[in-house]
Amino acid sequence: MKKLADNVYWVGGTDWIVRNFHGYELSTHRGTTYNSYLIKDKQTVLIDTVWEPLTDMFLEHLNEVIDPGEIDYVVLNHAEPDHSGALPAILEYCPNATVIVSKTGLETTKKHYHKDWNFKVVNTGDKINIGENDLIFIEAKMLHWPDSMFTYLTGKNILFSNDAFGQHFASSDIFDDTVDEAEVYQEAIKYYANILTPFSKFVTKKIDELKKLNLPIDMIAPAHGIIWRKSPMDIVEKYYEWSKGDSEKNVVILYNSLWGATHKMADFIAHGIGSAGISYKIYNSATSDRNDVITEIFKSKGIILGSSTVNNGILPSLAPFIEDLMGLKFINKVGTSFGSYGWSGESPKLLSDYLEKAKIKVLQDGLKIKYNPTDEELQVCFNFGKDFGKKLLAEF
Ligand code: FEO
């Protein structure tokens, strides 16, 4: 148990060891936390629970503050199992507690647990008095599920934002001003890039709405990672910036190579980009963490994909990245492609087609070179990169 404010406690679970999330689809290099919060007022309120395997740790933390049988309300801001997993166990202790959900949350929770608990549906602006203070609910549809919701605690001025503004970051401390801020921001942007990007329009709208509500916010307490209290609106402003699709004058070159020819092309294209005054990062799709690369692509204006041609196609290690590019729907990005080949040479065209499908503007036709590039052909690669760099600059 840790204290946020008088009568407000963190009672969640910390997983230092986990390195994958959403099955094995999202890397979590710094572990994670499942944040649950307990409010003691005239009524006792639990905000969210934890993932089911951490139930024992969660109950230990709860028991340090109250007997779980005393809980009057469980606010379920979002029914994904990492936050609702311990709900059935908690409700064994307090079967008469009211489970507060959004309208969609009612369906989501019932579809997950097939129980007819004592539900109460709330809409944006609804208020529940819990004694000295009130809970105010703000639906946050598609941040990142249809059921997602924020809960605001008056008096303490705490916004419990669930997944929004969170980060997969295990820590012995719970506040932003007690940890390495650079690490936390890296995890926050990784979370945004890999999970929230497709819903950026909803993020922009929600932040505009949140600002109009004019609620004093002293803390933002998300459902993963640390709590923002030093300057809590900073992360909100970051989200606003990210949701607009602004990016840096950087290029990510992501490629794979059978025998090194495509690798040489990548190097010379990169030098050409550099000569145009643009920074770049190079990743091999077979050896790089997909979520880390996606984060770098999210931050960058340009993405260049490269692959040798094999079996009339691309090397398979690129496929998961392409799937992500299509699903995450990045905006305002530009790209092109390249690759070495032996006889058929389809890969650059295929890669550019994928970029177009992902709504990434292809600035120039892909470059292909037969077998191992000569010095003259490497100069062609250099010029290809330089041209791309100049065209990218013109996009700003
Ligand atoms: Fe942290 Fe959408 O669950």
**How confident is the model at residue 360, as a pLDDT?**
98
Closest approach atom of ligand 1 to CA 148: 2
User: Closest by alpha carbon to 37, among 181, 168, 156, 117?
Assistant: 156
Per-residue pLDDT tens digits for 315-358: 999 999 999 999 999 999 999 999 999 999 999 999 999 999 99
Residue 224 designated active-site: yes
**How confident is the model at residue 359, as a pLDDT?**
98
From the candidates 41, 80, 176, 324, give the one annotated as an active-site residue. Answer: 80
Residues 76-83 have a mean pLDDT of 98
Residues 70-81 have a mean pLDDT of 98
Closest approach atom of ligand 1 to CA 78: 2
- 253 confidence band (pLDDT: 50, 70, 90): very high
- 90 confidence band (pLDDT: 50, 70, 90): very high
Cα(93) to centroid of ligand 1, in Å? 24
Residues 321, 56: Cα–Cα separation, whole Å: 37
Closest approach atom of ligand 1 to CA 163: 1
Closest approach atom of ligand 1 to CA 224: 1
From the candidates 15, 41, 163, 377, give the one annotated as an active-site residue. Answer: 163
- 80 confidence band (pLDDT: 50, 70, 90): very high
Q: Which domains does the chain have, with CATH numbers?
A: 2-243 (3.60.15.10), 251-394 (3.40.50.360)
Residues 35, 220: Cα–Cα separation, whole Å: 12
- Nearest Cα residue to atom 1 of ligand 1: 163
**How confident is the model at residue 317, as a pLDDT?**
98
Cα(5) to centroid of ligand 1, in Å? 24
Q: What percent of the chain has pLDDT over 90?
A: 100
Cα(188) to centroid of ligand 1, in Å? 13
Residue 22 designated active-site: yes
pTM over 0.85: yes
- Nearest Cα residue to atom 2 of ligand 1: 80
Decide: 27 and 20 in contact? Cβ < 8 Å. yes
**How confident is the model at residue 142, as a pLDDT?**
97
From the candidates 191, 192, 239, 240, give the one annotated as an active-site residue. Answer: 191
Residue 144 designated active-site: yes
Q: What percent of the chain has pLDDT over 70?
A: 100
- Nearest Cα residue to atom 3 of ligand 1: 80
Cα(83) to centroid of ligand 1, in Å? 7
**How confident is the model at residue 74, as a pLDDT?**
98
From the candidates 61, 83, 144, 168, give the one annotated as an active-site residue. Answer: 144
**How confident is the model at residue 93, as a pLDDT?**
98
Closest approach atom of ligand 1 to CA 166: 1
Residue 191 designated active-site: yes
**Residues lining ligand 1, Cβ inside 6 A:** 78, 80, 82-83, 144-145, 163, 223-224
Per-residue pLDDT tens digits for 138-181: 999 999 999 999 999 999 999 999 999 999 999 999 999 999 99
Per-residue pLDDT tens digits for 256-309: 999 999 999 999 999 999 999 999 999 999 999 999 999 999 999 999 999 999
From the candidates 139, 224, 255, 354, give the one annotated as an active-site residue. Answer: 224
Closest approach atom of ligand 1 to CA 34: 1
- 396 confidence band (pLDDT: 50, 70, 90): very high
Q: Which two tokens stand for residue 269?
A: 């294209």
**How confident is the model at residue 314, as a pLDDT?**
98
Cα(85) to centroid of ligand 1, in Å? 11
Cα(49) to centroid of ligand 1, in Å? 11
- 34 confidence band (pLDDT: 50, 70, 90): very high
Rounded to whole angstroms, what are the CA distances from 250 to 30, 279, 304, 339, 349? 26, 5, 11, 21, 23
Query: Side chain identity at 155, as an amino acid letter?
Result: G
Residue 208 designated active-site: no
Cα(394) to centroid of ligand 1, in Å? 39
Residue 353 designated active-site: no
**How confident is the model at residue 219, as a pLDDT?**
98
- 237 confidence band (pLDDT: 50, 70, 90): very high
